[in-house]
Amino acid sequence: MKPRNFSILLLSFSVLSVNFSFAQSKSNLECRYLPMIEEGFLRNHVKYSKRDKELETQLIDQYTKRLDATKIYLTEDDVAKVKKMMTGVFDKTKSNDCSFLAESQKIILERVRDRADFAKTFLGKNYKFDPKTEFSYDPDHKTFSKNKDEANEYLKKYIHFQIANYLATDMKLDEAKSNVIKNYERALKRTRETDQDDLYAGYLDSFARALDPHSSFFSRDVLDDFEIQMRLSLEGIGATLSSQDGFTVVEQLVPGGAAARSGLIEPQDKIIAVGQETGSMENVIDEDLKDVVKKIRGKKGTKVKLSIMRKGSDSKKRFEVTLTRDKVNLEDEAAQIHYINKDVNGVKKKLGVINFPSFYADSRRGGRSSATDLKNIIKEAREGKADGLVLDLSNNGGGSLEDAVKIAGLFFKKGNVVKQSAKGESKAEQTLADEDAAVDWSGPLVVLTSRISASASEIVAGTLQDYKRAVIVGGDHTFGKGSVQSVMPIPSNLGAIKVTVGMFFIPGGRSTQHQGVEADVVLPGPYSTDEIGEKSLDYSLPPKKIDSFISSESYVHEGEGMWLEVKPDWLKSLKEKSHVRVEKSDDFKKVLEEMKKSKERGKVIKVSEVLKDKNEKDKKDKAKKKFSKDEKTKEYLKRADIQEASNVLLDLIQTGNTKLPPQANN
């Protein structure tokens, strides 16, 4: 298969040259390729250009975390051995010596086996569940155990926590014990089955993450998933799958997909075997979810056979289904508009709420674009005579830079949106501007954000704030990701590198790095914690500032497309009115109570609290899975932040009632 020529991602669409030199006949990673792939990162990374001691230390740290992210397996001596083996790692890989990877894997395999054996023994017939158990759960605030005995003591507490998770779902103790043991057996199986490709991919991803939090290595499977996410379509059966207790479980059916059209598959069905058009069925129990998904996906028009197990009231039913794969559009991830009608002194106001979960883009000719979708949505809002819009970016983690620039430009005439720094201080920043002179929406606009609004979301929110075009409502500030990544495929279908190629700046000259975009009207939110944000990530790049580059041609002071700047006195009034409503809101009181509990709990897990909280959460999750599309929309619009953003929008409409222009095409 020839390498695909595309370059998209969290944020950049620019095509960058990597100049890899691989034998085209090869299809697997090899030790000798690692230095060449590292060079691909270093030639393009905004900060690092060479392998040095600092980068080696960070690589070893990241690889150790990859081996044991939870810190329940390795001991301090094990970590010391791994670090010693990896000292001088760059010289070793240049000499085609990757033996340290296999040796490190042997160590973690032995420790996973130790913990699995201990778990089986501990959960024997004499096991007694202790709901009073308390322990530190956060790996970032925990050290590796000094020795095997200390590791086992910690594991006892962790096992009580795992048992509590099962008991909270009304499961009997014996079944909970069996499931926990199976969890450790599966972990051992996965570790044992780690192949050479996985080891090399893990090393390369650790190298990437040693550069900054957003650079990474995409294996073939990860690259496939990334492409699907960006273009919002795939060829398969149209079902969302998860892995539960060794089974591949159908979570949701995509409306119009092959599984939904068949009428034979239901949520919570378990897929226990998969077969192709010809050939026998393959058992997939205890198989990694990514491997099961790979078997199920395929070209449009081909057939896939599934062996299904469905749990009834008192029995388990098994049957086979044959489905014809088809193109599946992941509509839940696409931009959608909903309307809220408000009555103000007998006058009805129609407010449009745009749920915008990602800046997706399909780079193929004729592919779907979030900018095009949003342009069409705004046209619908104009023709439907909406009085104002809420653009909801509160759960939007970013995506295409090109689409972010176009989307910001939908709300003003034309002009600068973002500047991207280049590698090296001597090179000038690249300015990206909206060149479309049309103002698609000139009316009142609120942008809803949170601490998890990141990247492209921050560009749009920050640009509209700098131009005083919109009121930003939501969490205290956004995530704080002010860097640009590009994806570059590696020849021979070996995957791709995602590398941070620059920093970006919004028109006022600020980088959103670390501080993000501050809300004009702040709402309490579950994500407003110092644990969430760019500045809390390993090796995050420092923020910078440049001169302002706001474009005067963006403003339209009269005639078609006219829009008014948001005034400081407007913001003052909006804040005051919102504060009064939030203070009286039971929903926001619950959010504040949860935030307070979270701070009080700190890093310590109380098993007794798990039993109480988890049960309530599971009931809510099960209820959500049964929601129809209309019911999901109702639940979405009932959210406290959505309701308050709509109230702020209504206040904005009333504040500038005699000043705000009508839509040109109403």
Q: Is the pLDDT reported for residue 200 higher than 70?
A: yes
**By C-alpha distance, which of 461, 436, 391 is closest to 649?**
391
Handedness of CA 49, 54, 57, 63 (dihedral sign): negative
Judged on CB neighbours under 10 Å (0-12, 13-18, 19+), 602 is exposed
**pLDDT band of 627, cuts 50, 70, 90:** low
Residues contacting 565, CB < 8 A, separation 6+: 467, 468, 469, 555
Q: Is the pLDDT reported for residue 13 higher than 70?
A: no
Among 273-282, 297-306, 330-339, 643-652, top mean pLDDT goes to 643-652
pLDDT tens column, 104-129: 999 999 999 999 999 999 999 999 99
Judged on CB neighbours under 10 Å (0-12, 13-18, 19+), 19 is exposed
Distances (CA, A) of 58 to 51, 397, 437: 11, 25, 47
Average pLDDT of the chain?
Answer: 86
Among 1-5, 30-34, 659-663, top mean pLDDT goes to 30-34
Looking at residue 10, what is its pLDDT?
41
**pLDDT band of 632, cuts 50, 70, 90:** confident
Q: Is the pLDDT reported for residue 234 higher than 70?
A: no
Token reading at 47: 């900060």
Do 175 and 504 form a contact (C-beta atoms < 8 A)? no
Do 471 and 447 form a contact (C-beta atoms < 8 A)? yes
**pLDDT band of 19, cuts 50, 70, 90:** low
Looking at residue 624, what is its pLDDT?
47
Judged on CB neighbours under 10 Å (0-12, 13-18, 19+), 333 is middle
Q: Is the pLDDT reported for residue 406 higher than 50?
A: yes
**By C-alpha distance, which of 287, 326, 328, 330 is closest to 307?**
287
For residues 500 and 516, give the distance between their C-alpha atoms in angstroms, rounded to a whole number: 18
pLDDT tens column, 341-383: 998 888 899 999 999 988 888 766 666 789 999 999 999 999 9
Average pLDDT over residues 139-163: 92
Adjacent-strand bridge partners of 351 = 340, 388
**pLDDT band of 6, cuts 50, 70, 90:** very low
pTM value is: 0.80
Token reading at 223: 């690259």
Among 9-18, 313-322, 470-479, top mean pLDDT goes to 470-479
Looking at residue 588, what is its pLDDT?
92
Q: Residues of the chain with pLDDT > 90: what percent? A: 58
Q: Residues of the chain with pLDDT > 70: what percent? A: 85
Looking at residue 71, what is its pLDDT?
94
Token reading at 524: 């309490």
Looking at residue 263, what is its pLDDT?
87
Orientation of helix 640-655 relative to helix 568-584, angle to 10°: 140
Q: Which amino acid is at 313?
A: S
**pLDDT band of 252, cuts 50, 70, 90:** confident
For residues 506 and 549, give the distance between their C-alpha atoms in angstroms, rounded to a whole number: 8
Looking at residue 315, what is its pLDDT?
56
